[in-house]
Structure 1
Amino acid sequence: MKYFFKSLLKTIPVLILITLIVFLLVRVTGDPVSLMLPETATDAERDSLREAMGFNDPIMVQYFNYLGDLVTGDFGDSFRYNTDALNLIFERLPATLELAVAAMIVAIIISVPLGILSAVKRNSFFDLFITGGAVLGKAMPNFWLGIMLILLLSVTFQFFPVSGRGTLGHLVLPALTLGTGIAAEMTRLIRSSMLEILGQDFIRTARSKGLGEAIIVNKHAFRNALIPVVTIMALQTSTLIGGTLITETVFAWPGLGQLLVQSVNLRDMAVVQAATFIIAIFVILSNLIADLVYRLLDPRIKYD
C-alpha cells in the first residue's frame, strides 16, 4: 500500500506535464477562435469571443487558468455537441471499455494455449505454424482485417451485423479485429518466456522427481513465465483504451476512439483535451496495476 500511494503521488507531475503538452499542441494547431467560429464571423465577434475565453491573456496565464479548471473537472464545453466535454467522454467511455475488455479476452483465449503449446512442441511443424501465424497476425493492419471480416462474415455469410453497438453480435467483429493483433504479440512473448523457464534447473528437478508434464508446464513453468506477459498486457490495455479509434471508425462503434477522431476533424479541442487526459489516466493506472501484480506472481520482488 505504501508503494501504491507513493506511485500515485508520482503520477501528479506526469499528468501536469501531459496537460501542458496537450494545451500547447492545441494552440499550435491554430487560433482557437477561428476554429470555433464560422468563416462568416465578423472581427467584432471574434474579438468578443477571444476576450470572453481569455485568449488575450499571456499563454502561461491561460495555461494556469486551464489547470485550475481541470482541478474542478471543467474541461470546457464541446461546441459541436453543445454539452460539457467531460460528460461527453464519460458517455462514450463504457463502449470503449467494453470493446477493450472483449478484445483482451479474445487475445488471452488465443495466445495462452497457442504460446504454451508452441513452447512445449519446440521446432515442430506445429510450432512453426503458430510462429508463422503470429508474425502474420502482427503484420496485418487492424483496419484491413476489420474490413475483411466485414466482407466475409457480415456481407457474404451475414453472421454478424456490419456496424453499430447493442448486441453481443455487434461486439464480435471489432473484438476479433483488435484481439487478433494483440494475441499475435502475446503468443510470441509467451512462447519465448516459456522456453526460457523450461530450461531452468528447477524444471529439470521437477521432472527428475517424476511430476507429470502437465503439472510442470501449467503449475511451475507458466506462472513463472507470466511476468513479461503481464507487462505486455498492461501496455496493450492502455493501447486498447487510446488506440481503438481506427477500429471504432471502421465498425461505427460509438466509443471514445470514434469521438476523438470526429473531434480532431472538427477541431473540437475541448473534447480532444478531455479525451487525452482520460486516456493518460488509464495508461498510468494500467502500468501501476501491472507493478502490483508482479508482486503477487513473484513474492521475491520487493518495492523498497
Structure 2
Amino acid sequence: MRQYLLKSILQIVPVLFLISIIVFVLVYVTGDPVSLMLSDTATDEDREILIAALGLDQPMHIQYFRFLGNMLQGDFGTSFRYDMPALPIVLERLPATFELAIAAMIVATVISIPLGILSATKRNSFLDIFVSGASVLGKAMPHFWLGIMLILLFAVEWKTLPVSGRGSWDHLILPAFTLGTGIAAEMTRLIRSSMLEILGQDYIRTARSKGLIETIVVYKHALRNSLIPVVTIMALQTSTLIGGTLITETIFSWPGMGQLIIQAVNTRDMAIVQAAVFVVAFLVIVSNILADILYRVLDPRIKYN
C-alpha cells in the first residue's frame, strides 16, 4: 500500500507538468494578453514597455520555462482586476467552494443510499420504477434550471429561504440541493445496480440461510461491498462538483471559486483563470488518490501491487 501511494504521488509530477502547459497556452488562446491588459487609450510605447515587462518579447519556450519557474513558487501573475497576486485570491475563495461541495455531497449521499437500497430490495415494484424514473429526471435536469425553480418556489413564492449570498446555514440549502441532485441521481442508479449484484452472491444466500433477519443481511453484509463502486463515482464527481459550482455559485451569488472563475473569464483576467484551473486539477488528482485509500478501508482484500 505504501509503495502504491508513493508511486501515485510520483505520477502527479508528469500530470501537473502537462497541466502547466495547458494553463500556459490558455493565455494565448484567448487573444493578445497585452491588449487585454492595456486600455484603449494606451500608446504604442506603453505596449512595448508592457511586452518587455512581461517577457513576451522572448521565444515561446523561454516564456514557458519562466512561467513554470514562477508557478512552482506559487506565482501565477497579478490579477489586473484586483491588483493582487492571483493564487491567494483563488485560495481565499476555496473554503466557500469546499463548503458548498461538501454540503452537496452530503445531500447526494443522504438521498441516494436509502433510495438505492430500497430500489434494489423492492426490485420491479412500483417503488423501484418510481425511483428509477426520478433518477433519470434528476440527471436530466440542468443545474441552472433547477436553481432558478427553487429560488422562485422557496425564496420568492414561499419566502422561507434566502435568495442568495453566504451566511447562515439556510443560505446553503438551496445551492447544495441544486448541486447535489444530479449527483444523487447518478449515485442512486449505481447503488441499485451494485446492490442487486451483491444480493445475488453466494455469501448473501448463506447469511439468509443461517436465519439472519433481512435488515442485517442488507445493511451489514451487502451494503459495505456495494459501496466500493460508489466511492469511485464520488471521486469522479469531484470535477463535476467543481464544474457545477461555476453555474450554481453564479445563480445564488455564492462567493466561491466558481463565481470567481466566471467573473475572471468575463473580464479576461487570465492570471485568475490560470491559477483556478491549476488548483481544480490538483484537487481532482488528490481526490482520486483518496478514493484508492478508501477502497482498502472498505475492502481489506484489495491489494495494491
- TM-score normalized by the length of structure 2: 0.98
Which residue does the alignment assign to 1:227? Answer: 228
Query: SS of the residue aligned with 2:254?
Result: coil
Does residue 184 of the first structure (1) align with residue 185 of the second (2)?
yes
Q: Which amino acid aligns with 1:74?
A: D
Aligned to 2:173: 172
> Which stretches of structure 1, 4 residues or more, deviate above 3 A after TM superposition?
none
Take 1:72 and 1:22, find their aligned partners in 2: how far apart are those partners?
A: 15
Equivalents in 2 of 1:167, 1:238: separation in Å?
A: 26
Matched, 1:61 2:62: yes
How far has the Cα of 1:242 moved from its partner?
A: 4.0
Equivalent residue, structure 2, for 1:87:
88
Q: Is residue 255 of structure 1 aligned with residue 256 of structure 2?
A: yes
| Residue of structure 1 equivalent to 2:207 | 206
- Report what 1:72 is aligned to: 73
Distance (whole Å) between structure 1 residues aligned to residue 296 and residue 52 of structure 2? 53
1:100-115 matched pairs, under 5 angstroms: 100-115=101-116
Residue-by-residue CA offset, 1:37-79 (whole Å, 9 max, x unaligned): 1122111101100000000111111010000001111111100
Q: Which residue identity lines up with residue 80 of structure 2 in the other structure?
A: F
Q: What is the CA–CA distance in structure 2 between the aligned matches of 1:154 and 1:74, rounded to whole Å?
A: 41
Give me the whole-angstrom Cα distance separating, in 2, the residues matched to 1:273 and 1:249.
19
**Equivalent position SS for 2:22:** helix
**1:121-178 deviations in Å (ceiling 9; x for gaps):** 0000011111111110000000000000000000000111101111111111000000
**Please, which moves more after superposition, 233-242 or 263-272?**
233-242
Correspondence list, 1:4-153, <5 A = 4-153=5-154
CA contact (8 A) 2:179 2:244 kept: no
Bigger Cα displacement from structure 2, 2-11 vs 108-117? 2-11
Amino acid of the residue matched to residue 231 of structure 1? T
> Contact 1:241–1:282 at 8 Å: present in 2 too?
no
RMSD: 0.8
Q: Residue 244 of structure 1 aligns to a residue in which SS?
A: helix
CA contact (8 A) 1:149 1:173 kept: yes
Distance in 1, matches of 2:98 and 2:91, equals: 11
Unmatched tracts of structure 1, length 5 or more: none
Report SS of the residue matched to 1:225: helix
